[in-house]
Amino acid sequence: MKKSRFILLGGSLLALIFMVRSIIFSNHSVAGHQTRRAVILVCVVGEIDGPIEITASSSSAHAPNIANGTDCAQALAELRRKGIKIKDVQFKPRGEGSPNFIIYTLQG
């Protein structure tokens, strides 16, 4: 049961990443040569005292790539330093005993 829940969760997160990414790129102006940088981070919140790490990320061509396992706060700080701003934050609770997720959409 847990395995199927994680498979469903993983598929849902990937679908969300691709959906948000397509929305961001549909607003991209080729004629104006605007280069928008977009990043989506999925951070897992495990134990209360444990680290919050990135479990999935997606970046546009002009944005930095963030590796899985990177500390979420460090990645957000680095992206902010590069002028990429947080546009949306979603908290996805999964219930007792399951990890919770925070999904950040950034653009700059």
Please give the share of the chain, as a percent, with pLDDT higher than 90. 47
**Residues 69-93: pLDDT tens digits?**
999 999 999 999 999 999 999 998 8
Q: Mean pLDDT over residues 41-55, rounded?
A: 86
Number of H helices, E strands in the chain: 2, 4
pLDDT exceeds 80 at position 106:
yes
> In the prediction, which pLDDT does 58 show?
94
Q: What's the pLDDT tens digit per position in 24-38?
A: 555 554 555 556 899
Closest CA to 39 of 80, 11, 91, 99: 80
- Given a cut of 80, whether residue 21 has pLDDT beyond it is no
Q: CB-hemisphere CA count at 13 Å for 94?
A: 17
Report pLDDT for 97. 75
Domain spans, the chain: 2-107
pLDDT at 61: 87
The mean pLDDT of the chain is: 79
